[in-house]
């Protein structure tokens, strides 16, 4: 018997491979599926089943990719949607893998047809449950994806799924969710890699309720919905098959310039590197933040050109989100660009100390804080600052003042540089990024945070 959890960085996505006696099942696979094939090959196991817990919104599922390379039975939840591959799952369906059995349990709420899969041990006792987006560590699935008017109803359905189907399985049953900390599929998922029903019954704040109405009041929240979610919902009814991760074309500076018209330039270098020198019109999204923000700021309709170091990793992250439109990257990076005598642009930066000095001297007119509402409520606000969450900046930037310098603030300076790149692309000139962000404020023990 073998079991492996596969973690997809950035998406905070967990998928799972379980096998016994030459047979295996893959649960909620990502799009680049070689990892599952390699795991099973090393164990001399054939992938018998691919099971999906729900129609995913945050990444392209890899079920058809596996189906293209081998011959598993693919089963998807949410069969009320118009899937064009695989088979729908029914309540009580059983899947035998070696000497173990897996039972499908309908647990709707996050989506109308979400399914959890209960794995029994050789003695037929419940061992672990794959809950998809129904139950996380210290969180429950979001219920707002069908629209505001459905939140109360779907939250009530989720309550029934968790309290009447999952929790009665027993405190000792291990819970393997589809996401960990940082996923947009839950507002405050804990960083525990795995949990148990008992731990969640005791610690999960959303389970500390008096009843269904109390649960609805607490869990029925409207969260930010990244625009790319709708694209994922569409693609995951019939995910396109890649066969392999695309290899973008290395472009000389002259070739890069020829392709910029009609393209979007993604710069994945650090905020300091981008601030020092960048290509005009490029968007700054550091490599580690691609999965968080590419879906907010990049288009599926325009070619993507990349400036950065680890191109393979960048493409991999983008492909998982359905961005198959990476057409090339700048060979040699900015060094080659500079040696060809081509122009670059800068974003002004300053430290917290420098900003405090300018505040004391009355030289700061406008501070733009791009942290989330949750961060503001937890850590405080800067007196007199303008708050627009980074993800809302494109639609709200017209409300920003243009009479004087704009100082951009976040938790560390990284998101501030992303904001600065968006504003610069849209004609804002007097932009300053505060390096260090909230961490810098705290280290200075300044009293401007209220």
Among 139, 154, 143, CA closest to 200: 139
Residue 3: predicted pLDDT: 98
Residue 368: predicted pLDDT: 96
129 forms bridges with which residues in the sheet?
118, 175
Q: Are 299 and 230 in contact (CB under 8 A)?
A: no
Pick the CATH number of 2-235 from 3.50.50.60, 3.40.1180.10, 3.60.15.10, 1.10.533.10: 3.60.15.10
Residue 99: predicted pLDDT: 95
Helix, strand, coil % in the chain, rounded to nearest 5: 35, 25, 40
Domain boundaries, the chain: 2-235, 249-336, 348-444
The size of the chain, in residues, is 450
CA–CA gap between residue 226 and residue 382 (Å, rounded)? 26
Q: Are 418 and 433 in contact (CB under 8 A)?
A: no
Residue 298: predicted pLDDT: 97
Pick the CATH number of 249-336 from 3.30.70.980, 3.40.250.10, 3.30.450.40, 3.90.1640.30: 3.40.250.10
Q: What does each of the 450 residues of the chain score in pLDDT, given as a tens digit?
A: 999 999 998 899 999 999 999 999 999 999 999 999 999 999 999 999 999 999 999 999 999 999 999 999 999 998 889 999 999 999 999 999 999 999 999 999 999 999 999 999 999 999 999 999 999 999 999 999 999 999 999 999 999 999 999 999 999 999 999 999 888 888 889 988 889 999 999 999 999 999 999 999 999 999 999 999 999 999 999 999 988 888 999 999 999 999 999 999 999 999 999 999 999 999 999 999 999 999 999 999 999 999 999 999 999 999 999 999 999 999 999 999 999 999 999 999 999 888 888 888 888 889 999 999 888 888 888 888 999 999 999 999 999 998 889 999 999 999 999 999 999 999 998 999 999 888 777 776 555 555
Q: Are 440 and 352 in contact (CB under 8 A)?
A: yes
Residue 25: predicted pLDDT: 99
What is the CATH T-level fold of the domain 348-444, as seen in this structure? Answer: Oxidized Rhodanese; domain 1 (3.40.250)
Residue 404: predicted pLDDT: 87
pLDDT digits (tens, 9 = 90+) for 412-440: 999 999 999 999 999 998 999 999 888 77
Residue 47: predicted pLDDT: 98
CA–CA gap between residue 140 and residue 147 (Å, rounded)? 18
2-235 and 348-444: identical CATH topology: no
* DSSP assignments along 181-235, one per residue: TT-TTSSS--S-S-EEHHHHHHH-GGG--SSHHHHHHHH-------THHHHHHHH
Which residues fall within 8 angstroms of residue 436, CB to CB, at 6 or more apart? 351, 352, 412, 413, 443
């Amino acid at each position: 018997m073998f079991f492996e959890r596969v973690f997809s960085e950035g998406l905070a996505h967990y998928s799972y491979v379980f096998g016994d006696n030459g047979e295996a099942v893959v649960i909620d696979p990502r799009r680049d599926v070689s990892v599952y094939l390699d795991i099973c090959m090393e164990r001399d196991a054939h992938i018998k089943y691919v099971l999906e817990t729900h129609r995913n919104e945050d990444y392209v599922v890899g079920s058809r990719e596996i189906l293209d390379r081998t011959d598993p039975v693919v089963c998807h939840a949410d069969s009320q949607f118009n899937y064009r591959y695989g088979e729908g799952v029914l309540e009580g369906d059983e899947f035998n893998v070696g000497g173990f059995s897996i039972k499908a349990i309908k647990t709707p709420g996050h989506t109308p047809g979400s399914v959890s899969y209960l794995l029994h041990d050789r003695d037929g006792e419940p061992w672990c449950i794959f809950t998809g987006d129904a139950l996380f560590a210290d969180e429950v699935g979001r219920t707002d994806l069908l629209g505001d008017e459905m939140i109360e109803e779907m939250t009530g359905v989720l309550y029934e799924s968790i309290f009447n189907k999952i929790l009665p399985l027993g405190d000792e049953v291990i819970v393997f969710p589809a996401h960990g900390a940082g996923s947009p599929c839950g507002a405050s998922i804990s960083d525990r890699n795995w949990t148990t029903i008992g731990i969640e019954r005791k610690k999960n704040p959303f389970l500390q309720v008096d009843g269904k109405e109390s649960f609805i009041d607490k869990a029925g929240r409207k969260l930010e919905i990244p625009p790319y979610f709708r694209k994922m919902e569409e693609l995951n009814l019939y995910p396109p098959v890649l066969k392999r991760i695309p290899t973008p074309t290395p472009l000389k500076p002259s070739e890069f310039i020829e392709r910029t018209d009609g393209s979007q330039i993604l710069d994945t270098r650090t905020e300091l590197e981008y601030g020092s020198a960048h290509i005009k019109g490029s968007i700054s999204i550091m490599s580690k933040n691609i999965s968080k923000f590419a879906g907010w700021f990049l288009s599926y309709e325009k070619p993507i050109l990349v400036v950065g170091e680890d191109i393979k990793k960048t493409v991999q992250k983008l492909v998982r989100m359905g961005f198959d439109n990476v057409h090339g990257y700048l060979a040699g990076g900015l060094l080659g660009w500079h040696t060809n005598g081509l122009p670059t642009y800068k974003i002004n930066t300053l430290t917290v100390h420098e900003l405090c000095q300018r505040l004391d001297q009355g030289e700061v007119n406008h501070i733009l804080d791009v942290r989330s509402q949750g961060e503001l409520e937890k850590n405080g606000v800067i007196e007199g600052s303008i708050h627009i969450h980074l993800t809302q900046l494109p639609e709200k930037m017209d409300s920003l003042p243009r009479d004087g310098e704009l100082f951009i603030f976040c938790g560390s300076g990284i998101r501030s540089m992303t904001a600065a790149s968006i504003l610069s692309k849209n004609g804002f000139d007097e932009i300053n990024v505060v390096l260090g962000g909230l961490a810098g404020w705290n280290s200075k023990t300044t009293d401007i945070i209220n």
